[in-house]
Amino acid sequence: MPKKLVLHADRLFPADPAVRAIARRLYGAVQDLPIISPHGHTDPAWFADNEPFGNAAELLLAPDHYLYRMLYSQGIALASLGVPSRKGSSEANPREAWRVLARNFHLFRGTPSALWLSHVFSVVFGLDVVLEEKTADHYFDVIGAALRTEAFRPRALFERFNIEVLATTESPLDPLLQHRKIRESGWRGRVVTTYRPDVVIDPEHEQFRGALAQFGELTGQDVHSWGGYLNAHRLRRAEFARAGATATDHGHPTARTADLGQAECERLFARVLSGRFTPDEAELFRAQMLLEMARMSLDDGLVMQIHPGAFRNHNLWLSEQYGRDKGADVPMPTEYVNALKPLLDRFGNDARLSIILFTLDETTYSRELAPLAGHYPVLKLGPAWWFHDSPEGMLRFREQTTETAGFYNTVGFNDDTRAFLSIPARHDVARRVDCSFLARLVAEHRLDEDDAALVAEDLAYRLPKAAYRL
């Protein structure tokens, strides 16, 4: 007899009965609030075309690097999971790929992925048995049948999930046709884009030279001159803003910024264009471009997100065979106090600018990030991110930043996901964890419960909406 799949109503709440009761009350007031999803990587074509999703493996497994990085760590080939290589789409049979996940689902015990997927299986699809080898085909068939119905098309799910606004992330080379199609369709769902210029800012990106040429063609600018290059960014940012963008996003190796003079910028840019630059010069160019992006944000009002500290594509073989974003990124130590000082010296006191900082280095929470955000008007702290998007990671974030930065120098939660169906699950976890943290403050008489209820609503809804100017 298959084991029952049960989502406990008190999951993630404190074990102490008195504190748990407070958490329940706080959560009850926020659990059904609309979802603000201001940063993520879902495909806008899903909402533009509103075509049915294919099958369980294609929808839930192949796009989710949280899942296949764990499976790969146990010696399971990506090809068997339906993950496409650089050569093109995978030839793996979707049902067989799903069976591989089912046989190995025990690997996710205790992980956020298990929490998210259990929510998807139970709440979204109504499944009531656990995923394991003997239920793999049952899962595949039930999910497949659901996906063939109108209720499981992307727009219907968007509305069912009570998503008020969802932001995708696009390269500056993207023509934004899918976003235009969404706007012109008459559908009332709000899907906006985000400007992610890494491919034309990072000289060490393998696509940089070709991307730069396309950047020039798309904008009609001489991107081989410093002035033309900057103007190309201005033009694309304006186009993104017309497509609904309220933010930019920068995934740099470090948080370093620079404030060079005009002549120095031109010399550095010439070195970058020549291809004969050192790693230090590449880093300096990225640093200068963070300041240039901040300068442009003062003009166009786009909120700036800085996501530093990942060693991208650490597995060389995997990168060569499968490309970027295949679960082989690893966190690195990241310094902020000195790294951000050139930008903050120039713009840190100008409240018109808004910069949201993220980190994969938790040692910086109380030492660097909370004191910085607790002082500079331009800075806010993004939520626990990526490897720390977990119950313990969220609690560590709150515990180490709240005393110095408070709640109101943070921006609530964003799900940062490619896995569309996991969005309500991820927001539910965040709301439960925040309510648990607040319940402890109430139980310790450090916060009035009425105030805690207001904070819970702010974290779940009002703060992300305000921080991202949505």
The arithmetic mean of pLDDT across residues 19-24, rounded, is 98
Residue that has been written with the tokens 């030839």 in this structure: 91
Q: pLDDT-based confidence at 328, cuts 50/70/90? A: confident
* pLDDT tens-digit map of 380-391: 999 999 999 999
d(CA 100, CA 312): 27
What values do phi and psi take at 363, rounded to 5? -65, -15
Please determine, for residue 91, whether its predicted confidence score (pLDDT) is greater than 80. no
In degrees rounded to 5, what are phi and psi of residue 249?
A: -145, 135
Strands of 35-37's sheet, edge to edge?
35-37, 163-167, 191-192
User: So what's the pLDDT on residue 435?
Assistant: 98
Bin 87: left if φ > 0, else alpha if -120 < ψ < 50, else beta: alpha
Mean pLDDT, rounded, of the chain? 96
Q: Distance from first CA to last CA of the chain, Å, rounded?
A: 49
Asked if pLDDT for residue 325 goes beyond 90, the answer is no
Q: Which of 411, 401, 407 is nearest to 167 (CA)?
A: 411
For residue 88, pLDDT beyond 80? no
Closest CA to 458 of 412, 402, 404, 403: 412
Q: Is it the case that residue 73 has pLDDT exceeding 80?
A: yes
Beta bridge partners of 95: none
**How far apart are the C-alpha atoms of 169 and 40, rounded to whole Å?**
6
- Go through the chain and tell me how many residues it has: 470
- pLDDT, residue 92, reads 87
pLDDT digits (tens, 9 = 90+) for 206-261: 999 999 999 999 999 999 999 999 999 999 999 999 999 999 999 999 999 999 99
pLDDT tens digit string along 346-379? 999 999 999 999 999 999 999 999 999 999 999 9
Summarize the confidence of residues 120-149 as an average pLDDT.
98
Question: Distance between alpha carbon 354 and the CA centroid of its chain, in Å?
Answer: 18
90 has pLDDT over 90:
no
pLDDT at 141 exceeding the cut of 90: yes
Domains of the chain: 17-52+150-467 (3.20.20.140), 53-149 (1.10.2020.10)
Q: Average of pLDDT values for 298-303?
A: 98
For 165, residues 6+ apart whose C-beta sits below 8 A from its C-beta are: 36, 37, 38, 190, 191, 192, 465, 470
The predicted structure's pLDDT at residue 62: 86
Name the band, by pLDDT with cuts 50, 70 and 90, for residue 89. Answer: confident
Distance CA 368, CA 203 (A): 28
3-state secondary structure 7-33: CCCCCCCCCCHHHHHHHHHHHHHHCCC
Confidence (pLDDT) at 83: 87
pLDDT band at 155 (very low <50, low <70, confident <90, very high): very high
Q: What is the dihedral of CA 194, 235, 312, 265, to 10 degrees?
A: -140
